[in-house]
Chain A
Amino acid sequence: MANTLIDGLKERVSKAVAFNQSVGVVLPSTNYADLIQAFFEYIRSKPEDAWVYVTITKPYENIAKQFGELALSKNIRFIDCISRAAGISRTDPNCIYIESPTMLEKLGIEIINIFKTVDEKTNKYLVLDSLSTLIIYNDAEIVTEFFYQISNRTRARNIHIISLAIEEEGMEKLNKLIYLNDKILKVRDSFI
């Protein structure tokens, strides 16, 4: 069952990537961990692509522990916006730590800095995990402005954004935000 679930999600991830546009993925919280695993498996299967994974949901340390080798692929760099704010002072060469999820401009700078080191011809992808947690720490309006800004900056560099949103109550604010993407993928148990 678990494998079928992951395979189904991998297919969704693969579709999201294939759009080569900004894609919003809305998923129920029950499928969150599976989707992340599917992401890492997909990323590992495409070593020629470059990925930046921004985590606002879980500290990088937890991701590294939970997904082990899967999260340590050479073609993925992490930006952790949550550890420092949670008082976790651990450092890791594969991860850039942002002091606070409110420091959105700093986040933008670090995203672009990583992609500046990637060859122009390489396919480049940015995962924002997730917009729903970003609006816990910031007002929805400023997250919207940030999303516009980072979308324009990444578009100019041919970087494709995949932003996650966990379905929950109070989706009104999130809906405004998620619909800024070129495409929306809604993950439902019945689709997998």
Chain B
Amino acid sequence: MVEGGLCKTGIEELDVQMGGGIPVGSTVLMVGSSGSGKTTLCMQFLINGAKQGERGVFFTITEPLFKLTKNMEGFDFYDKKLIESGMVNLIDLRIISERLGLDTEKYSVEDAAALLDVLKDIADELNVKRLIIDSITALCYRLQTKEMIRDFIFKLGSSLAAMKCTTFLTSEVPPRVFQYSQYGIEEFIADGIIFLGDVERKGDLIRTFQTIKMRGTSHSRAKFAMSISAKNGVELAPLLKTRA
């Protein structure tokens, strides 16, 4: 169905509702507010890929590496050996920026181009098939115009697609707001949008998962309840429709 095949996330229900997986080389926006499960889902996707022999890289801007790994150690899917063997690479993008001598607050056009080149080079050298940027919102914050944001994401997505690398970009949005990005541009360049939200039931918050778009698949647009547990990581089940 899709030239180049499908990239299995390894999360059973997610793959089923996508018709087998995400088209290889797609750039997917993983949208959600704080605590919605973006980072966990992305990490599980990366680690499941590594277990299938696909190397991956996780660029973090929002939290230091020691915090990221500490949070992930509680999950059964997390395997430290995959990090040690280089199958999963965790990179702090702020450190790269510093080493490149970039302004940490605002990137010029040249800074953005330099950063883009480094990201592409790392992906190419490591021959990664799965890449995460957590978060694209924090990165876009440093790009000064909408044109720069558009140009950056478009070029990044195109280069990674050519490498047959499937990319997840996490997008931070305020809670209970149905929007896909802070800058209103990211969603138009992405091949796919996954929206992580929540519904309130009798005062409890139920995490939800919904695929808004995924080019090249006949995916479900139904809303799912999303569970996150130490044993199984992210799991999905059809959301009960009755409103409490």
Chain A residues engaging chain B, CB cutoff 8 angstroms: 99-100, 102-106, 108-109, 113, 137-139, 141-142, 144-146, 149
Contact = CB atoms under 8 A, between A and B. Distances in A.
B238 A105 contact: yes
B240 interface: yes
Task: Summarize A's interface: helix, strand, loop or mixed.
Answer: helix
Contacts of B206: 102-103, 105-106
Given A99-B204, A100-B204, A113-B232, A105 B240 contact: yes
Contacts, number: 48
10 contacts: A99-B204, A102-B201, A102-B204, A105-B227, A105-B240, A106-B206, A106-B225, A106-B237, A108-B237, A142-B242
Interface of B: 201-204, 206, 225, 227, 232, 235, 237-242, 244
A138 B204 CA distance: 11
B244 A149 contact: no
Contacts of B237: 105-106, 108-109
A114 to B, nearest CB: 11
A137 B238 CA distance: 20
When A and B form their complex, which 5 residue pairs have the shortest distance between CB atoms, in order from nearest?
A105-B225, A142-B242, A105-B237, A141-B242, A102-B202
A106 B227 contact: yes
A105 B225 CA distance: 6
Contacts of B202: 100, 102, 137-138
